Amino acid sequence: MKAFEHVDIDINITPEAPLNLDTDTLQTVTETLLEHEQVKIPNIELHIKTCTLDDMQHLNASTRKKDKPTNVLSFTYGQSSHNNTLFLGDIMLCPAVIAEEALAQGKSESQHSTHLLVHGLLHLLGYDHENAEDALKMEQREISILAKLGHPNPYEEYQG
């Protein structure tokens, strides 16, 4: 039985930056992760948006001081809760970067997008990878969640 009743995902796909995951997949990935992490809030709200290379570069420069586009950014807003609803935050995905990375890593875009969605969601739940110990913990969570979704270990080639 799920620890939550409902997950409301506001999806905003920029026409110039289409994502290769459909709404049902986004919902399934999110619910699988929340079950895995045993989030116990009746209702959860989340925003998932896509953006162009230029928009992602601007966001990355203004929020992280890195003047280049990146694959995913997560923005938390204190995980505010009202009316038994937890607002997790925003996840910004850049399909152009995701496609380029997927090609370079020999993965499907769908597989890589799913991994990055899981990565972004874990950030919203407080996981980080600023040091080796935290990075390993986050990677282990990603591997476990992706396995539940039927995806292979995304770090396999890097772990030897």
Q: What span, in angstroms and rounded, lies between the C-alpha atoms of 93 and 130?
A: 20
- The amino acid occupying position 55 is D
pLDDT at 148: 96
pLDDT at 62: 97
pLDDT at 39: 84
Give per-10-residue mean pLDDT for the chain (160 aa): 75 91 92 90 89 97 96 84 79 97 94 97 94 96 97 74
Q: Are 17 and 61 in contact (CB under 8 A)?
A: no
pLDDT at 160: 38
pLDDT at 81: 61
Q: What span, in angstroms and rounded, lies between the C-alpha atoms of 30 and 140?
A: 17
Residue 93: closest CA among 61, 71, 111: 71
Domains of the chain, CATH where assigned:
6-150 (3.40.390.30)
Residue that the structure tokens 């080796």 belong to: 132
pLDDT at 108: 93
Classify 106 as helix, strand or coil.
Answer: coil
Query: In the structure encoding, which two tokens stand for residue 33, read together?
Result: 């992760």
Residue 90: closest CA among 63, 114, 120: 120
Instruction: List all residues 6 or more positions away from 105 whose beta carbon is below 8 Å from its beta carbon.
Output: 112, 157
pTM of the model: 0.91
pLDDT at 158: 47
129, burial (CB in 10 Å: exposed 0-12, middle 13-18, buried 19+): middle
Phi-psi region of 62 (alpha: psi -120 to 50; beta: other; left: phi over 0): alpha
